[in-house]
Chain A
Amino acid sequence: MPNMSPTKVPMPQQDPNVRNKNFEEVATGYTAEMAMEEATRCINCKNRPCMTGCPVNVPIPGFIEQVAAGNFEKAYEIITSENALPAICGRVCPQENQCEGKCIRGIKGESVSIGRLERFVADYHMAHGAKAELNIEKNGKRVAVVGSGPAGITCAGELAKKGYDVTIFEALHKAGGVLSYGIPEFRLPKSLVAKELENITDLGVDLETNVVIGRSLTVDDLFARGFDAVFLGTGAGLPNFLRIPGENLLGVYSANEFLTRVNLMKGYKKGEVPTPVKVGKRVAVVGAGNVAMDAARTAKRLGAEEVYIVYRRGAEEVPARKEEVEHAKEEGVIFKLLNNPVEIHGEDGWVTGIEVVAQELGEPDASGRRRPQPIEGSNTVIPVETVVIAIGQSPNPLIRQTTEGLETQKWGGIIVNEETGESTREHVYAGGDVVTGAATVILAMGAGKKAAKAIDESLKEM
C-alpha cells in the first residue's frame, strides 16, 4: 500500500536566521528513514511520466523502489547507469520543471521528491560505498575535452569508460566549471564537487588545468598533438552588462566576478585568503535567475544588511529554481519585481544607488513571456553601495576567434547537430552552455553524453 501523504517528507535545513550568516549547506539532507518513507510515496507508474522530464533518462521508479526497500547501493547503481553526477543533480536540477514536474503525484498534492532522493542515494554512497573495481580496455584513441564543467566531465567520463585516452584542458586553476566558481558552497559544497571529479580522474582521465584553448593551445594544436577528436564544453562565461550609465563605478560587479571572488578564490573566508571581496551595507542584484539568487544570498552572508533582487518582469517569470527563491525570501532578501534599472548613480566614483523604473506587463513577447513596459515618471532610486549584475552570460570568443571552420550563432553559440553535438568542423564536437547559452547542469551533462556517443561511433570506424 503506497504512502498517500499529499506532501513531501520535509527536508531538514538550517534555520534561515542562522544560515544567512554562514556558508554551510542550507539543506542538510534526508536520513535513511526519511528517504525510505518518501520513497514509498512513489506509485511506480507503468508509463513512468517522471522519466520523460529527466534530460538524461534516470530510471526514476526503479531507483526509488530500491530506496524504499533500503537497498541504497543498488539504487546508486541504477542512477549512475544514466547520470554520472547524482549528488550534484539531486541538489541543483530545476526538478519542478523536469522530473518532478511530470510526476503523477504532483497532480493532487506534491510530487515525489525525486531530487532529494537522488541526493540522498548519492550522499549515502559517498559515505558508505566502496570504490568500484575498474577494468577498462584501452582502445588507443585520444580525445581532448576542453572545459571541465558538467558537459566536459560527463563527456570525458563516458569516453574513458569506453577505453579512450581522454585529457581535459581547463583554463582556470581548478576544475568543475560553474560548479566550482559559480554555485556557492551553501548550495553545493565544494568537497562534493571534488569527489565527483575524483570519480572522473579515477577512470584514468587526465586533467590539465591552466591551459586556455585559443591562447595556450589552439584546436589545431590539439589535432597536431595527436588527438583524434575534440569536445568543446567551454560554457557561457562572458558576463553581459546592462549598458546603462554608471556601470563602471566602483561597487558594480558582474555576478561572475562577485561569485568567483567568493567561491573559486575562497573570499568567504574573510581575513584568511588574500583575494578581496567588498560588499556594502546595501546591495542590489539585477536579475532573478539562479545566478542572481546565489549572488543575493552570498551578499547577505558576507554581512550586507539589505539585499534587493531587482527584476524587470513579474513573479511568474522569475527563472530561478523555486526552492532558491523560497530560500532567498526566508533569508531576508527583498524582491523588487517589475522594476527595470536605468542608471547607476555614484559620487566620487563610488556607487550610491540604482535608479529603477516601475514596469507593467503587456502582451507576450517572442519568448512567450509578457513584455514589461515602463510606467512613465515612476523612477525611484534605491540607495545601495554595491550592485551585482546577473542578467546572463554568453560564450567566450577565444575559441571561435582562433578556430577555422567552426561556425557560430550571432550571439556566439557554437552551431552543432543537435543529435550528435557535431560542429561544422570535422571531429570537433560541442555541448552545454557554449551551444545553448546559459542553461542547466543536467542539460550540459546530457549534451556531453550525446557527444561522447557520437564521438565513439565516428572513431570506432577509423
Chain B
Amino acid sequence: MYKIVKKEVLNSVVVMMEIEAPYVAARCEAGQFVIVRVDEDGERIPLTIADFDRERNTVEIIFQVVGYSTTLMAKLNEGDYLQDFVGPLGQPAPLNKEWKRVIGVAGGVGAAPLYPQAKKLAEQGTKVDVIIGGRTAELVLLKEKFEKFCDNVYIMTDDGSLGEQGVVTKKLQELLDAGVKYDHAIAIGPLIMMKFVVALTKKPEYNLPTAVSLNPIMIDGTGMCGGCRVTVGGETKFACVDGPDFDGFEVDFDQCMKRQTFFKEEEHECMMKLQADQMQN
C-alpha cells in the first residue's frame, strides 16, 4: 500500500497527489511513469511522474479525472492509501546536454509530464521556453512552477481568458516565424495536439526535431501484453518499454488515436455504473 502524503486539487478536473513510493523515488528520471491501482480489483492505469523528492521518498502525480479509475482516485484524501504503485517505468526522456534552447508545448494535463523534462533541461543549462494551452484560464496548469526556471512562458486559451486567445500551434508558428532558434521541441498533450505540432515543426522551412509522449492504453507497463503498441517509423514499438517518448516525425498519430478508442463502450458502461452507485449512496 502506498500512502498519499499530500493532495491538492489543481482545478475542477485535475488533481495532484504526492505518494510515498521509495523504490520509484530513488531511481526515477524525467519522462518515466508509474502504474497505479486504486483498490483491490482496480484497473492498472499509467500516470507520468510529474515530480519527485528523493529525500522524502515521494513522487508526484498529476491526473485529470476522465473516467472510472481517475474518478475513484480523486475521492481519496491525504492519509489514504493506493493499492499498487509500480515504477519507474519506460525510458527516461532523451534530453541532450548539447541543446542550447528548447521549446516545450503542452496541452491541458500534458503540462504535468512536460514539467520534469523542462526542469531537468533548465538544470543542465538549456534555455527553455514553454507554451501552455488550455480550453480556459482555470485549465492552464503549472504556470507559476514553469515560470521559476523558464525564459518565457506563453499561455494560450481557446477563449482568451488567460494569455492569448488561440491554440498552441498558433504561438509556436509565431515564434518560429519570428526566427527564434530552437534545437528541439517537446510536445505533450492530447494526440490531436501533438499531431498538429508535428505537422508544423516537420515543415521543411522549420524542420525542428520534436519529441512527443504517447499515452496508449496499457496494462502491465513492462512489455508483457503488447497492448500499448504504436507504429513509429513503420515499425511496431511497445510504448511502455521503448517509450513513452518518441520522435514525433516518425509517429503514426492516426493509428494511435484509433487504438485509444478500443474500449470506449466498456469504459462508458463502467462509468455509468459508478454514477448509478453514487446516486444510490
Contacts and interface: CB of A to CB of B under 8 A. Distances in A.
Contacts, number: 111
Interface in A200-255: 209-212, 215-217, 237-239, 241, 243, 247-248, 250-251, 253-254
Contacts of B266: 276-278
Interface residues of A, number: 40
A256 B227 CA distance: 9
Contacts of A216: 23-24, 27, 86-88
A239 B224 contact: yes
B195 interface: no
Interface in A238-291: 238-239, 241, 243, 247-248, 250-251, 253-254, 256-257, 260-261, 265-266, 271-278
Contact of B224 (A237, A250, A349): A237
Contact of A396 (B37, B85, B224, B258): B224
A274 B225 contact: no
Contact of A265 (B43, B88, B223, B226): B43
A216 B29 CA distance: 11
B43 A396 contact: no
Given A216-B27, A216-B87, A260 B220 contact: yes
A283 to B, nearest CB: 15
A239 B263 contact: no
Given A217-B23, A217-B27, A260-B219, A250 B227 contact: no
Given A261-B219, A271-B273, A248 B224 contact: no
Contacts of B267: 276
A319 interface: no
Tell which of B241, B255, B261 has the most Cβ of chain A within 10 Å: B241
A397 interface: yes
A398 interface: yes
Interface in B3-43: 23-24, 27, 37, 41-43
A304 interface: no
Contacts of A237: 222-224
Given A237-B223, A396-B222, A247 B87 contact: no
A238 B220 contact: no
Given A171-B222, A248-B231, A271-B273, A215 B87 contact: yes
Contacts of A271: 269, 273
Interface in B219-249: 219-220, 222-227, 229, 231, 236, 241
A241 B238 CA distance: 12
Contact of A398 (B86, B222, B231, B259): B222
A212 B86 contact: yes
A173 B44 contact: yes
Tell which of A216, A251, A397 has the most Cβ of chain B within 10 Å: A216
A219 B37 CA distance: 26
Nearest to B267: A276
Given A266-B41, A274-B43, A398-B241, A254 B225 contact: yes
Contacts of B86: 171, 173, 210-212, 216
B275 interface: no
Given A248-B255, A274-B69, A397 B41 contact: no
A215 B225 contact: no
A212 B43 contact: no
Contacts of B211: none
A455 to B, nearest CB: 24
Contact of B258 (A250, A265, A273, A398): A250
B223 A398 contact: yes
Contact of A238 (B224, B236, B263): B224
B83 interface: yes
Given A216-B27, A276-B266, A260 B224 contact: yes
A414 B263 CA distance: 37
B23 A247 contact: no
Given A216-B86, A260-B225, A398-B222, 14 more contacts: A171-B222, A173-B37, A173-B84, A181-B224, A210-B86, A217-B27, A243-B236, A254-B225, A254-B227, A260-B220, A266-B41, A271-B273, A274-B41, A276-B267
15 contacts: A171-B86, A171-B222, A181-B224, A210-B85, A212-B86, A212-B87, A212-B222, A215-B88, A216-B23, A216-B24, A217-B23, A250-B258, A265-B219, A271-B269, A274-B43
Sorted nearest first, the 8 A-B pairs with minimum C-beta distance are A276-B266, A257-B225, A210-B86, A254-B226, A216-B23, A276-B263, A349-B258, A173-B84
Interface of A: 171-173, 181, 209-212, 215-217, 237-239, 241, 243, 247-248, 250-251, 253-254, 256-257, 260-261, 265-266, 271-278, 349, 396-398
Interface of B: 23-24, 27, 37, 41-44, 68-69, 83-89, 219-220, 222-227, 229, 231, 236, 241, 255, 258-259, 261-263, 265-267, 269-270, 273
